[in-house]
Amino acid sequence: MHVRTVLLAILVVLAGCGEAMPGTEATPTSDATPTSNTTATATPNATPTATTTATPTATPHPNFDDPTTDRLGWENGYWYDESLSVNASNGLNESERTAVVARTMARVERLRGLEFESTVPVAVVDRETYLAEENVTATAWDEQVWEALLLVGENQSVESVFELLYGASVQGSYVPNEERIVLVSETRQPTIDRQTLAHELVHALQDQHLGFDRGNRTRDARLGYRGLVEGDAGYVEDLYETRCEGPWSCLPRPESGAGGSLDDNMGVYVAAYHPYSDGPAFVHHLRERGGWDAVNDAYADPPTSSTQIIHPERYPDWSPATVRIPDRSSDSWDRFDRSPPGTTVGEASLFATVWANGGTDVFHLQRPTRPHRAYNYTHDVTTGWAGDRLVPYRNETGATGYVLRIEWATTGDAAAFAIAYRDLLRTRRGAERRGENVLVVPAGPYADAFRVEQSGTTVTIVNAPTVAALDSVHDEDESSSTAAIERTDFSRTGPKSA
């Protein structure tokens, strides 16, 4: 899916108002994100560019004759470097759209080095129609995961937040089970954004040659996998735009619509946007190391964590720790009926938690540290992440709670996160101290009791409606501290987060 990058503009607006930044996925999936049966994309706000008509000179096909057999860089009668006689000022008619899609397919396969096995149908719909056809759903489990990240409080539903995200950001999607692309036009006259089309066509190439793995993953493992998938498409999109600024004749990009306001949910956007931000830099790293073959090979051995996308040098030999949480709840509290009973939220999501709750400079995101990276998800408070497990609980009355246990690379990393987390509860959420390691948020969407404990390299956060209920959710037992953590830092055969 292609999602418009709205973050920087909103950052400027909020910073101008003196806000400390409060708080999805462009294609969220099962356990911590609502599901959409599409593959999604993120694209910057479109700025019209001039259409050029000059024909490139050095070309192996000077007359743009059709080849006798299909060739890489030629599709359905059009070469990748061929100019088109189309007028995009008032939208594109059917024949113009056919030509634009064919040439874009030729360009994408030329850049990616993979031949399209079949033509990809492309439909263009207005935003109202697209949103009417979207089906965003979320469960009580999803509500708990996003509340545990301090990104969607009890005053909102995850469904409504993600519906807003789609309304503000989605520009197109590839539908794998139908093998077609849907593009969103901001006007009823069909317009096509060249970046969005190129991005979605890469997803079609992935589907035809490499396939999409629909295996059951934790939230963090899913972000790692999507970092590869969306990063591949985003990287090719970057290469495409570079050619448009140079030798290629390209259509102007249409104006973007106003979209919806994400002011109260920017943390959700940051958590969901990570594959689109850091994925292209990750794929660039792979290609620099071993060409497109290294990128293709990664689909058979995909990243298992957002950490590997944030820090590409950790792929493929680094593995996150497997963290387990023994069930020490009372008879009145139960885990959700899921197998396994918890999920892993990961470094990228914890960064979003810290950022959205005022734990770092709001403009930290605008300081990317490597080529093809949109934002900066590397931060001292979260970069030492080594593994985690989040297990939600509920009782017979409908009350909810959770246990989040995080393993860190060093004791210092664990201490830094524990201090930062307690601080953001106090300064951002108004928490009051009610005992050793216990804080209570007295009002608001996160009004609950929190116990935040550090033991060596481990931080354990227990959440419950009241201080008295903390032990009912997770009994404080000194004997359990680190026995449930397995650690293998640099073994490909070591334990993976599950």
pLDDT in tens, 46-56: 333 333 333 33
Radius of gyration of the chain (CA): 24
pLDDT for residue 3 is more than 70: no
Answer whether 417's CB lies under 8 Å from 423's CB: no
Q: CA dist 444 to 108, 428, 440, 475, Å? A: 49, 11, 11, 26
Q: What is the mean pLDDT of residues 292-309?
A: 98
At 20 the pLDDT is: 27
**In this predicted structure, what is the pLDDT of residue 491?**
29
Q: Is the pLDDT of residue 282 over 80?
A: yes
Confidence grade of residue 16 (pLDDT, cut at 50, 70, 90): very low
Is the distance from CB of 189 to CB of 181 less than 8 angstroms? no
User: What pLDDT does residue 59 have?
Assistant: 56
Q: Which pLDDT score, from 0 to 100, does residue 148 have?
A: 98
Of residues 126 and 342, more confidence is placed in 342
CA nearest to 4, candidates 197, 233, 166 = 166
Q: Is the model's pLDDT at 57 over the cut of 50?
A: no
Confidence (pLDDT) at 369: 84
Distance between start and end Cα atoms, the chain: 26
**Lowest-confidence segment of 65-69, 112-116, 241-245, 416-420 by average pLDDT:** 65-69
User: Residue 406 CB: number of other CB atoms within 10 A?
Assistant: 30
Can you give the residue range of the structural domain that contains 22? 2-308
Same domain, 295 and 344: no
Q: What is the pLDDT of residue 497?
A: 30
Q: Is 18 left (phi over 0), alpha (psi -120 to 50) or beta?
A: left
Question: Do 230 and 357 have their domain in common?
Answer: no
Same domain, 184 and 200: yes
**CA of 148: how far to CAs of 43, 125, 256, 444, 461, in Å?**
29, 36, 34, 15, 10
Residue 90's pLDDT band, with cuts at 50, 70 and 90, is: confident
Q: Does residue 491 belong to any structural domain of this protein?
A: no
Whether 378 and 295 map to the same domain: the answer is: no
Final residue of a structural domain among 261, 292, 308: 308
* pLDDT at position 339 over 80: yes
Looking at residues 23-49, what average pLDDT do you find? 37
Q: How sure is the predictor about 260, in pLDDT bands with cuts at 50, 70 and 90?
A: low
Residue 85 lies in a domain: yes
pLDDT band at residue 494 under the 50/70/90 scheme? very low
Q: Phi and psi dihedrals of 290, rounded to 5?
A: -150, 20
Task: Tell me, yes or no, whether 348 and 287 share the same domain.
Answer: no
345 and 148 in contact (C-beta within 8 Å)? yes
Residue 441: both structure tokens together: 């948020």
Residues 282 and 377 in one domain: no
In a domain, 497, yes or no: no
Kindly report the average pLDDT of the chain as a whole number.
85
Coil vs helix vs strand at 223 = helix
3-class secondary-structure state, position 469? coil
Is residue 493 situated within a structural domain?
Answer: no
Mean pLDDT to the nearest integer, 289-308: 98
What number is the average pLDDT over the span 197-205? Answer: 98
Please report how many Cα atoms fall inside a 13 Å half-sphere around the Cα of residue 494, on the Cβ side. Answer: 20
Residue 161, pLDDT above cutoff 90: yes
> Of 159-163, 466-470, 484-488, which gets the smallest average pLDDT?
484-488
State the pLDDT at residue 287: 98
> Is 180 among the domain residues?
yes
Task: With respect to residue 388, please indicate whether it lies within any of the assigned structural domains.
Answer: yes
Give pLDDT, residue 2.
Answer: 74
pLDDT category of residue 318 using cuts at 50, 70 and 90: very high
Token couple for 20: 């400390």
The proportion of the chain whose per-residue pLDDT surpasses 70, expressed as a percent, equals 82
Alpha-carbon span 347 to 380, nearest angstrom: 11
Relative to beta strand 39-44, strand 438-440 is unpaired
User: Are 56 and 172 found together in one domain?
Assistant: yes
| Statement to judge: residues 270 and 370 lie in one domain | no
Residue type, 160: S
pLDDT tops 80 at residue 234 = yes
Q: Where are the beta strands (DSSP E) in 63-192?
A: 74-75, 78-79, 122-126, 170-175, 180-185
Query: Which of 17, 23, 39 has the alpha carbon at shortest distance from 279?
Result: 39
Both 222 and 371 in one domain: the answer is: no
How many whole angstroms separate alpha carbon 463 and alpha carbon 310?
28
- 6 shares its domain with 120: yes
Percentages helix, strand, coil for the chain (3-state, rounded to 5) are 35, 15, 45
pLDDT at 429 (0 to 100): 96
Output the DSSP codes for 254-302.
Answer: PPPP-----GGGHHHHHHHHHHHHHHHHHHHHHHHHHHHHHHHHHTTS-
Question: Which carries the bigger pLDDT value, residue 27 or residue 269?
Answer: 269
Let me know whether 304 and 317 are in one domain.
Answer: no
- Count how many domains the chain has: 2
Ranking 3-17, 67-81, 224-238, 285-299 by mean pLDDT, the lowest is 3-17
Assess whether 24 and 48 both reside in one domain.
yes
> Is the residue at 136 inside a domain?
yes
* Cα–Cα distance for residue pair 346/349, rounded to 1 Å: 6
Cis preceding-peptide flag for 316 (omega within 30 of 0):
yes
- Residue ending a domain, among 308, 329, 360, is 308
Of 285, 308, 331, which closes a domain?
Answer: 308
